[in-house]
Amino acid sequence: MAAHAIRTAKAARVHHAHRRRGSVAARGAAQQPGKLRTIGFAGPSTRSAESELVAAFAQRLHELGWIENRTVVIEYRWSEGRAERFVQIAAEFVRLNVDVIVASGTPQVLATKQATSVIPIVFARVGDPVANGLVASLARPGGNVTGLSSQTDDLTGKRLELLREVVPSLRRVAILANVDNPFSVLEVGEAQAAARTLNVEFDTLEIRRAEDITPAFEAIKGRAEALYVCPDGLVNANRIRINTLALGARLPTMHGYRDYVEAAGLMAYGANLPDLYRRSADYVDKILGGANPGDIPVEQPTKFDLIINLTTAKALSLTIPESLLLRANELIE
């Protein structure tokens, strides 16, 4: 009798949380009695690297009435930027028959899409979902995939311009990218085109695994005067090593996101990632409420951040122009 009372109270809490958000019929039909909804959260890097993003996602879910381990279960998995882990995690979520999968980064989302055409997939960030075949269009994604585009390639030229503001004499830049990531290949092309426009020569450092990073730096010793880093799960998991090597080689670095600058990178310019992860929770809420992912438009960033690490600038004996300091959203000291 007591166990029955506990189950009844639990069901009442779940029903109450659903009713507060509306669409009671759709949510009630999709949920089996006594079974919590399950979200599979696939992180492209590591838990420590993405802790702020996980917190933003979980906080927004909480605001929408989804309380972890009370009204929803979140299964977290981390790939550390390794391609084989993308496939393993996707297969595991299919076996677990989760209600929705949240994934990030083009390679991980592609692997997840290949694993299932039935389970809804929300990407918290990918560079160009149309160009990489994840969705049919931004307005009408179609299929089982939708989410948020980080528009990284659109920002490539701007990043190189900012780098040259800090290094006005810049004549040669190295471009570091994981070429197993289809989007990074697109971004390399954009970076090369932007370098040509700025009359800057370039070296492209192609990596596919963590072991390729040190040899890549050896290849540009004494050649490049700055480093453009294409953001990616593998690169993110190894961002401390990349920035340490860059500092040792006296190379100012340009990144896509704040966490790279926190790890001693010089600068980053890109979409505000915590905001994207918060918004991805809204997608999950809609899908758990019965919405079809193919009908939910892909959204683009509304917040962009310029972050500068002044400690790194000092270590490189660089003077950041006053105009750039005034434009920065955050200065790390």
How do residues 291-302 score in pLDDT, each as one tens digit?
A: 999 999 999 999
Judge contact between 98 and 73, C-beta under 8 A: no
pLDDT(62) > 70: yes
How do residues 260-275 score in pLDDT, each as one tens digit?
A: 999 999 999 999 999 9
How do residues 174-192 score in pLDDT, each as one tens digit?
A: 999 999 988 899 899 999 9
Q: Which residues lie below 8 Å from residue 67, measured CB to CB, with a gap of 6+? A: 17
Of the ranges 10-19, 154-163, 294-303, which one carries the lowest mean pLDDT score? Answer: 10-19
Of the ranges 6-20, 65-79, 166-180, which one carries the lowest mean pLDDT score? Answer: 6-20
Identify the band that residue 152 occupies on the pLDDT scale cut at 50, 70 and 90. Answer: low
Q: What is the mean pLDDT of the chain?
A: 89
Longest dimension (CA), the chain: 78
User: What's the CATH superfamily of 2-13+31-150+272-302?
Assistant: Response regulator (3.40.50.2300)
Model confidence, pTM? 0.80
Residue corresponding to tokens 């932007």: 194
For residue 295, the model assigns a pLDDT of: 97
CATH code of the domain made up of 153-271+305-332: 3.40.50.2300
Q: What is the mean pLDDT of residues 133-146?
A: 95
Q: What is the mean pLDDT of residues 5-28?
A: 40
How do residues 87-128 score in pLDDT, each as one tens digit?
A: 999 999 999 999 999 999 889 999 999 999 999 999 999 988
What is d(CA 239, CA 66) in angstroms, rounded to the nearest whole number? Answer: 33
Identify the band that residue 18 occupies on the pLDDT scale cut at 50, 70 and 90. Answer: very low
For residue 132, the model assigns a pLDDT of: 85
Residue corresponding to tokens 């599979």: 40
How do residues 184-222 score in pLDDT, each as one tens digit?
A: 998 999 999 999 999 999 999 999 999 999 999 999 988
> Taking the domains of the chain in order of start, what are their residue ranges?
2-13+31-150+272-302, 153-271+305-332
What is d(CA 10, CA 321) in angstroms, rounded to the nearest whole number? Answer: 58
Higher pLDDT among residues 25 and 72, named by residue: 72
What is d(CA 257, CA 279) in angstroms, rounded to the nearest whole number? Answer: 17
Cα of 309 vs its chain's centroid, Å: 21
For residue 35, the model assigns a pLDDT of: 79
What is d(CA 206, CA 222) in angstroms, rounded to the nearest whole number? Answer: 18
Following DSSP, what letter does each residue of 39-59 receive, concatenated? Answer: EEEEESS-TTTTHHHHHHHHH
Amino acid, single-letter form, for residue 319: T
What is d(CA 127, CA 130) in angstroms, rounded to the nearest whole number? Answer: 9
Domains 2-13+31-150+272-302 and 153-271+305-332 share a fold: yes
For residue 183, the model assigns a pLDDT of: 87
For residue 297, the model assigns a pLDDT of: 97
Question: Residue 182 corresponds to which tokens in the numbers above?
Answer: 């289809």
pLDDT(259) > 50: yes
Beta partners for residue 104, in sequence order: 125
For residue 46, the model assigns a pLDDT of: 87
Q: What is the mean pLDDT of residues 128-150?
A: 93
How do residues 309-321 score in pLDDT, each as one tens digit?
A: 999 999 999 999 9
pLDDT(286) > 60: yes
pLDDT(31) > 50: no
For residue 9, the model assigns a pLDDT of: 43
- Which DSSP symbol is given to 333? -
